[in-house]
Structure 1
Amino acid sequence: MNGFSSNTCYELVSEALEDIEALHEEFQGVEEDEHASHRVVDIARQLVAFKSITPDDVGCQLWLAQELRTLGFSIKHLPVRDVSNLIASIGNNSDARFAFLGHTDVVPAGSTQDWQFNPFKLTEHNGCLFARGIVDMKGAIAAFFCAIEALVTDFGIPEKELWLLLTSDEEGEAEHGTKRITQFLKQQRITFDFTLVGEPSSEAQVADTLKVGRRGALSFTINLHGKSGHVAYPQKATNAIHLAQNIMQALLSVDWPKHCDNFDSTTLQFTHVNSGDFVDNIIPSQCQLNFNIRYTPAYNEYELVQLVRETIEKHTLNYALTTNNSCKPYYCVNNDEIPSPSLAIVCDEINSQCHFTPKLSTAGGTSDGRFIAEISTSVLELGLVNKTIHQIDEHTTTSDLIQLQQLYYGIYKRLLYPTLHVHSTAQDELLQLR
């Protein structure tokens, strides 16, 4: 028997049968879900398993950094207080730099009993992937990583520089995350030609909507000072609440909307009124007003503050005004309504793969794009469908996750390996905002 004993043959046959049974089970799983073993799903599964509720990263960035090192990325960790920040780069040709901006932190899952599945264990069900943060935005990070992994495998180290910037402080106060990364890169004189942000921008299907800008935001606090007195003798007092009422009405009457194409109008919303401890027969001597202004690029912070001061001082000079949570607006299109070259490339790639032209939008709140816009010529947001973000049973479809990876692959191939890409005349067409 060529040197084999009967016992040896029995052992070999048994092992072969075990291998066949294992393969059968594996193929059964593939039949149940054709994407079950896809690389991007595996990476997403690893990422969502980290319970990285803002700002505690619990090692998520450390794990990802190790994976990036295997691709040839240089790694720098930039911790600030309890926030984790990761800066990774690859490529040596600094005549063009491109970046991907994201966050590894997620919002709390709430009561796990309300979820169909464990929110921190990726669950595939009926073609969907369920987990906290899969959409906002660990799915996009997984798609980016797998796209770059495939590009490096296919074509080697990029011809241009690529940077990955991640924070664990996007869902929180955002004081020690991308803001600090931007400050650090400024000090190093690092700027980018284009930054892609992985925020979930899509509405009904992947890439149907791109965020090409965001309104700015500025929060105000007014402390008004009156004079206390007995409610039966109002002529001897100055009611701070009445004063606040007049100022609120005056601010609401300001003609805020200063026209700015492709942006929602500038708006003001009061968020809190506080006159201190309540006593039924005492006229309050103080009142605090809090409000937020969302504004278009037609304004700047100085103009807003001056307009608010002028409005207050028509009613009183006895006040204190402070501002906080400053978020500057940004826009991916220049003053002549001509899209940046990178925006043209992204739209052309979407049209090539998905066969439609994306809607370009500036709607919604703020994002960390506001920080990186200080050092990036162009900032654009492209991510998964945002229908379930921050909700119970947050999920995306497996096919959407794979589609996002393919789009990132195509976009970064054009940006990072320009000598490989055949120029498309579609890039020269003027893209109309709609």
Structure 2
Amino acid sequence: MSIQNQTEDLGVLRFITAGSVDDGKSTLIGRLLYDSKAVLSDQLSALSRAKNKRTLGDEIDLSLLTDGLEAEREQGITIDVAYRYFQTVRRKFIIADTPGHEQYTRNMVTGASTADAAIILIDPTRVTTVDGKTELLAQTKRHSAIVKLLGLQHVIVAINKMDLIDYSEQRFDEIRDAYVELAAHLKLADVRFVPVSALKGDNVVQASERMPWYAGEPLLQLLEALPVRRAQHALRFPVQWVARQDGHQADDFRGYMGRVESGEVSVGDTIVVLPANREATVAEIVAPVTGGTASVDRAFAGQCVTLRLSEDVDVSRGDTFVAPGDAPQPARKLDADLCWFDEEPLSMQRKYLLKQTSNTVFARVSAVREVFDVKTLLQASDRQSLSMNDIGAVSLTLQKPVVADVYETQPATGAFVLIDEATNHTVAAGMIRAFSA
């Protein structure tokens, strides 16, 4: 097989780095970029002179390659999600360097929502062992639980800073065994382990001579070989805007603008408009091109287009076009998993705004069924609220029905956010698990 064919088969891998503060996420990404020759010479020169670098002399602080905000460089922590792009002869990569601090867990959820894989970093110097039991940090457990909720296909556990524990195989095995227990509890399907030193470059791009006991592949080779399944979902086209020209003109144009969230649509296709449950035929698809717009025959998931229908159907923002025979039933009651972001705890006495695709409706949390305890890994069923960074299973009642799917089958229409009506803060991200009667 040629290199070109290998590249075509492997495609793009989207992955995140996650873990607690100071586990070395930014340094690891910097090392990946640096050792794979994905950093320009002028970037290296600027980094060697950076005023906030935490290395001596001309040595480069690799974490600054991803920590772009001034506040991040001053405080030495990642605050926002930083996206970086690079490629090897085998594959292209999109990296999301996500924050480790508990205060910015919401940003980690944002980065993970579009990823295929996660690198969970663990600093072995901060992992404690009490009475023979190895205890992982709470944030490591929380991020692993979020990775499971969002349905990421692969997890690579990078036990970092091996240089600080003299490249100890015994300590690596202890931490690996502790994470295997966590993964089994969370039902994580594909978990792989690699001992690395992002600072020294061990097992990041090249195999380390200082850990001959590790028989596996370096991190980059693992990433290059990960299989990515692109699920084939049915058509979902939420209408964001109705474009209408002057009705007195001869070319009275009515188009429906939005993004194809999943599936594809072609000219001549029959679609169903929900929630009205009316059938119509796609007469034209208008897509943006260089210098303007043009009519095209087909549109695919991720494309922003305007659809014109043959029939005169009443359509407004918030309606959804779906394929015939695959029309979900609009629902007012949902069971969902929530990641709570706000400092103000969840209140079942308050109304929130639920934003799902182009829909925004009032919602109440009618029940808190379980809250995940990241310390004990147990589900507490005696709590009636969620606090900042809690993960819980809830039931919601909406003011009016929305066209939605279960997150596992259609992530684009199975995800939502809750917004506080008074403050306009995004207080939670949710994944729909079921519909209630």
Q: Which category of TM-score, normalised to the shorter sequence, fits these structures?
A: under 0.3
So what's the TM-score if we normalise by structure 1? 0.23
Larger RCO (alpha carbons 8 Å, 6+ apart): 1
So what's the TM-score if we normalise by structure 2? 0.23
Larger Rg: 1
Task: Please identify which structure carries the higher strand content.
Answer: 2
